[in-house]
Structure 1
């Protein structure tokens, strides 16, 4: 596809903006690399500042050892791609307060990438479309895992739930999310996305593929029809979860007990180690949280839990 002419900006209304870049749940159990959901909490707080020279500076305020070289940083790499499509001699300084721990499985790298491009685009007068922003932000995911994927990036930018029908070319479908409550537990262990990908099987039996396709279709239909029973039946993964769950102590017990406590269903958030569960109401979600706490206290692993909802907006521009 022929590249468009580089964009030129005649004036800039603002020089700095603060954004809240939320966590996301990728895969939604059966939709590996094609389904994702945006969360209200947790979220990273980022400041994006316009510079009058063509450079990118990344500042970390949280103590995490994140690369300062923009080409190796999940927030910097997308901005390099964005600047390549702009004529003006400008750059960006990005300050990041990460509240989404790297390696948590709640879309930490996607939050940095999406927050950076949404904030930068705002300062440029929103000259790029959401699809453009996803295209840029996927370069951040490539830095993090070695592979471009959009199942965290797309919901972070679009909000709600997204289906990525295709990456090349990009084809993103927004799915209106029911008013679910989401309970997450983040055991304080790290599962690197690149490592979690390496252990996956290279071949899948046809009968498993057929079952997985049915679950993905059932989940999307259940979400669109607000059919909670169908959503619950479809939250089943016969391909990825059986392999990745061995990296997460207590996973099977958490999933079984949470469903018994009333959760519709759930599973591994992204590549893990976080586990998510969907519930129809807040009281059930809080009960599910207590169940998660009991399991990890019993096995002696530190954890953080969240009870939140689905964000309908994605990355938010904060007016100061």
Structure 2
């Protein structure tokens, strides 16, 4: 039966002020899958590489498997699928690891069926896979991983997603310390309500980010990259966070914050040279804490998940 190889990139969710509503894709790292059609209904996962044996092989418990199962059910396919999953994103990293797996699997299975659905129509299936990964069917990782670019999740009932244009010279630095934070644990520490003063501040920063990206206005982006809701609470889970953020800003970053639920830290810069300098400054701080880390520097990835070979 026919096989397709696909990949889907890491993502930065929340982007400081945009808790659960902002996300963007980066160029690397990215998960890869090989999906093969089978005559037998259902989904099997025959191989997982790069997870140290930690991810479930049962399709109903694996994000890539759940996504493909939901797709096949939605189009009433009589065929099944086998998945080989190649993990290049670390687990519990705050870079959308579970989302990348499901996004890659979805574009592959959609391709194998002649692309009956648009990328936007694939989103609900990826969101269901997020539900089994962290208990919440959120879209701020899966939407940018599937669609590419910088994405706004305006609402969920019904799902309303919009792409925000970004400056061509906007660069992201990702520094991933060799730690793991589970999304459900990071969500559990958040407060169920916030003061109206903080809400107003956050709303202003969200609007400022949208305007700053679209104009573009780097000064406005810099003034808007502040989170008064999640970061003050979650930052205590990341060793040395405040010093690392301080060093990133001194190195020239427009802003710096927690990528998704952490522990990865992201920074945005107005040119590559600055983004690379920021990455070195951030990594040096992790070195002082005796924590190994990986640094990734890239533009905003406007393509998202893609077919590698068919």
1:31 aligns with 2:18: yes
1:68 match: secondary structure:
coil
Which string of whole-angstrom CA distances, capped at 9 and with x for unpartnered residues, describes residues 60-116 of structure 1?
022341111111111111112111123331111111111101100000000011111
Match of 1:216 in 2: 206
1:60 aligns with 2:45: no
2:226 match: secondary structure:
coil
Q: Distance in 1 between matches of 2:214 and 2:129?
A: 30
Q: Distance in 2 between matches of 1:102 and 1:140?
A: 15
Q: Give the stretch that moved more between structures: 76-85 or 215-224.
A: 76-85
Q: Distance in 2 between matches of 1:136 and 1:149?
A: 11
Match of 1:149 in 2: 138
Match of 2:3 in 1: 16
2:74 match: secondary structure:
coil
2:28 match: secondary structure:
strand
Q: Which runs of 5+ in 1 are unaligned?
A: 1-13
Matches within 5 A, 1:1-320: 15-58=2-45, 59-62=47-50, 63-179=52-168, 180-319=170-309
RMSD across aligned positions (CA): 1.1
Deviation at 1:23, TM superposition (A): 0.2
Matched residue count: 307
Match of 1:11 in 2: none
Q: Which runs of 5+ in 2 are unaligned?
A: none
- TM-score, reference length from structure 1: 0.94
Deviation at 1:268, TM superposition (A): 0.2
Q: Distance in 1 between matches of 2:272 and 2:154?
A: 32
Which string of whole-angstrom CA distances, capped at 9 and with x for unpartnered residues, describes residues 260-316 of structure 1?
110110200000000000111111011111101210111111111111221111001
Give yes or no for contact 1:131–1:170 (8 Å, CA) kept in 2: no
- TM-score, reference length from structure 2: 0.97
Q: List structure 1 segments (4+ residues) > 3 angstroms apart after TM superposition.
A: none
Which string of whole-angstrom CA distances, capped at 9 and with x for unpartnered residues, describes residues 177-227 of structure 1?
212111111111111000000000011000000000000000011001111
Q: Distance in 2 between matches of 1:135 and 1:268?
A: 25
Q: Distance in 2 between matches of 1:243 and 1:56?
A: 40
Q: Distance in 2 between matches of 1:88 and 1:226?
A: 45
Give yes or no for contact 2:32–2:101 (8 Å, CA) kept in 1: no
Deviation at 1:29, TM superposition (A): 0.5
Q: Distance in 2 between matches of 1:130 and 1:96?
A: 20
Q: Distance in 2 between matches of 1:102 and 1:164?
A: 24
Q: Distance in 2 between matches of 1:290 and 1:111?
A: 26
2:7 match: secondary structure:
strand
Q: Distance in 1 between matches of 2:256 and 2:133?
A: 25
